[in-house]
Amino acid sequence: MSSTTVKATPLSSIFKPLLAPALIVVSLAFWWASRPLPEPPPMLDQALMRLTGNTEFHTLDETPEPLPWEHYTIARGDVLANLWNDQWQLPRETLYHLLANAEKGQMLARLRPGQHLEWQADSEGRLLNLRVWLNEGEGYQWHLDGDAISGGPLNLSRTLHEVQIAGRIDTSLAAALAGDPSLGGSADSIARQVAELLPLTKKARRGDRFSVMVQVERLGDHAEAYSAKLMGFDYEGAKIQVAAARFDDDRFYTPSGESLLPSFWRYPFEQSYRISSNFNPRRLHPITGRVSPHLGTDFAMPVGSPVEAPADGVVKQVVHHALAGNYVVIDHGDGYQTRYLHLSRIKVRPGDTVHQGQVLAYSGNTGRSTGPHLHYELRMNGRPVNAMAVSLPTKGKLQSDELKRFQSRYAGYFKLDRDDQQAGTAVAQQGGSDKGGV
Ligand SMILES: [Zn+2]
């Protein structure tokens, strides 16, 4: 177990988006489907139908989860306006508003490489809080409430410790980590982060051995961790044997440099179809004038067109819903989820492992829909993102210099508990093909 203080947070997640309590309605001229609804809608649906009137229902209400803080470290060549809009998916008007009107707002115009930013946005992508750190102890924070901005200096010492914990599974990984004070109360979070990369729910067994490397961040002298980020893991179990660690791009790679993430297609089909409605989290309802976000992309597709998995994953949900129609949710691991609404026929079941290109379902016009189309959503860590615009993971292997840098950074870690390096390589290859999400 090491405990060293380092100066700067390594490149952090570009996208660590939010969980969405998303309830989406879109206007439409006519909605009545010619056949009866597939099942009597539960009370919530009836209430929603009354509320929404002549509207199309796209996404479902979900239990809100606490809003996570996003992190970013400014790199050489970054242009804040581009990061803000394209990568962080924050409204550009908010940046201009801060620059023009916030006390110390001009700090944002003078960011330097290495400076660390943190922010919280709500499910519709509106900025709530923003922190700019000048160094590890000093910074400035703004709070936004509609157009009102309040701000003040931050004077906390921020320390980063790298912690390694090894153990054995008895009941669960979270339980095995729970007693360790060095994690500052973040055992559950770390177990969740591992479970995004390994199919622990199905394949963890009593007696499995693991180690995790975690970067724990503390503010001031708080005992509770301010953040805890999984940096690496080495899991040697009866059914899972994978070791991997986080690299500069925030993705996990095995000791031989193979990416753990499946690659993603841009579209969940192989034909080409016209986009009938774009992703727009700030779309205004044409009649009410209220914000009525459209958190997916609509494709005009004839009923019965095959809908294919854009990446490997596991079927999380298959639902027949009065408003969203028949829909499927696929979990691709590492926080990536896709959803397909208004389907006609569904070919998969919850728990199925699916492979890129596999037909999941056939498009349709079920639920409350304007006409035959597919509503396709991509979520990253629960937050809907524009699947047509975000950079998508490509199945990658680290090459030459990157691979050397990666291997030298984790050389000490990957040797942990291993008899020899050859064993490590074999395990990693097996692990690479055994991924497939949560
Ligand atoms: Zn839609």
| Same domain (yes/no): 135, 167 | no
| Same domain (yes/no): 281, 377 | yes
| Same domain (yes/no): 319, 343 | yes
- Structure confidence at residue 32 (pLDDT): 32
How far is the centre of ligand 1, averaged over its atoms, from the C-alpha of 342 (Å)?
9
How large is the average pLDDT for residues 48-59? 42
- Structure confidence at residue 156 (pLDDT): 76
Q: Is the pLDDT at 61 greater than 70, yes or no?
A: no
Could you give the CA distance from residue 106 to residue 97 in angstroms, rounded to a whole number? 11
Among 155, 180, 204, residue at a domain's last position? 155
| Same domain (yes/no): 204, 142 | no
How large is the average pLDDT for residues 334-358? 93
| Same domain (yes/no): 163, 92 | no
Among 65-69, 174-178, 216-220, 247-251, the minimum mean pLDDT is found in 65-69
Residue 50 or residue 150, greater confidence: 150
Residue 288 or residue 368, greater confidence: 368
CATH number of the domain within which 177 lies = 3.10.450.350
| Same domain (yes/no): 274, 251 | no
**Burial class of residue 20, CB neighbours in 10 A (0-12, 13-18, 19+):** buried
In a domain, 3, yes or no: no
How far is the centre of ligand 1, averaged over its atoms, from the C-alpha of 377 (Å)?
8
pLDDT band per the 50, 70, 90 thresholds, residue 135: confident
How far is the centre of ligand 1, averaged over its atoms, from the C-alpha of 56 (Å)?
8
Could you give the CA distance from residue 106 to residue 114 in angstroms, rounded to a whole number? 18
In a domain, 208, yes or no: yes
How far is the centre of ligand 1, averaged over its atoms, from the C-alpha of 370 (Å)?
10
- Structure confidence at residue 395 (pLDDT): 60
pLDDT in tens, 352-411: 999 889 999 999 999 988 899 999 999 988 889 999 988 887 767 888 898 999 999 998
How far is the centre of ligand 1, averaged over its atoms, from the C-alpha of 70 (Å)?
27
Among 155, 187, 208, residue at a domain's last position? 155
Dig out the tokens for 172 from the structure. Answer: 């669960």
How far is the centre of ligand 1, averaged over its atoms, from the C-alpha of 277 (Å)?
7
| Same domain (yes/no): 92, 192 | no
Q: Give the structural domain span for 329.
A: 264-385
In a domain, 145, yes or no: yes
- Structure confidence at residue 285 (pLDDT): 67
In a domain, 217, yes or no: yes
Closest CA to 367 of 271, 291, 298, 315: 298
pLDDT band per the 50, 70, 90 thresholds, residue 65: low
| Averaged confidence pLDDT in the chain | 79
In the block, tokens 């390589």 appear at 425
In the block, tokens 């290109």 appear at 357
In a domain, 425, yes or no: yes
Q: Is the pLDDT at 108 greater than 60, yes or no?
A: yes
| Same domain (yes/no): 128, 163 | no
- Structure confidence at residue 308 (pLDDT): 96
CATH number of the domain within which 314 lies = 2.70.70.10
In a domain, 136, yes or no: yes
Q: Distance of CA 129 to CAs 64, 106, 144, 186, Å?
A: 18, 16, 6, 22
| Same domain (yes/no): 149, 162 | no
How far is the centre of ligand 1, averaged over its atoms, from the C-alpha of 25 (Å)?
9
In a domain, 252, yes or no: yes
How far is the centre of ligand 1, averaged over its atoms, from the C-alpha of 298 (Å)?
5
How far is the centre of ligand 1, averaged over its atoms, from the C-alpha of 164 (Å)?
44
- Structure confidence at residue 397 (pLDDT): 84
- Structure confidence at residue 227 (pLDDT): 86
How far is the centre of ligand 1, averaged over its atoms, from the C-alpha of 251 (Å)?
30
pLDDT band per the 50, 70, 90 thresholds, residue 300: very high
| Same domain (yes/no): 199, 107 | no
How large is the average pLDDT for residues 241-256? 89
**Burial class of residue 287, CB neighbours in 10 A (0-12, 13-18, 19+):** exposed
* Bridge partners of residue 145, in order along the sequence: 148
- With a pLDDT cut of 70, the percent of the chain lying above it is 78
How large is the average pLDDT for residues 199-225? 89
- Structure confidence at residue 173 (pLDDT): 95
How large is the average pLDDT for residues 136-154? 89
Among 155, 175, 206, residue at a domain's last position? 155
| Same domain (yes/no): 150, 170 | no
pLDDT band per the 50, 70, 90 thresholds, residue 3: very low
Domain count, the chain: 3
How far is the centre of ligand 1, averaged over its atoms, from the C-alpha of 35 (Å)?
21
In a domain, 26, yes or no: no
How far is the centre of ligand 1, averaged over its atoms, from the C-alpha of 272 (Å)?
17
| Same domain (yes/no): 319, 400 | no
Could you give the CA distance from residue 151 to residue 358 in angstroms, rounded to a whole number? 50
Q: Is the pLDDT at 225 greater than 60, yes or no?
A: yes
Q: Is the pLDDT at 327 greater than 70, yes or no?
A: yes
How far is the centre of ligand 1, averaged over its atoms, from the C-alpha of 295 (Å)?
7
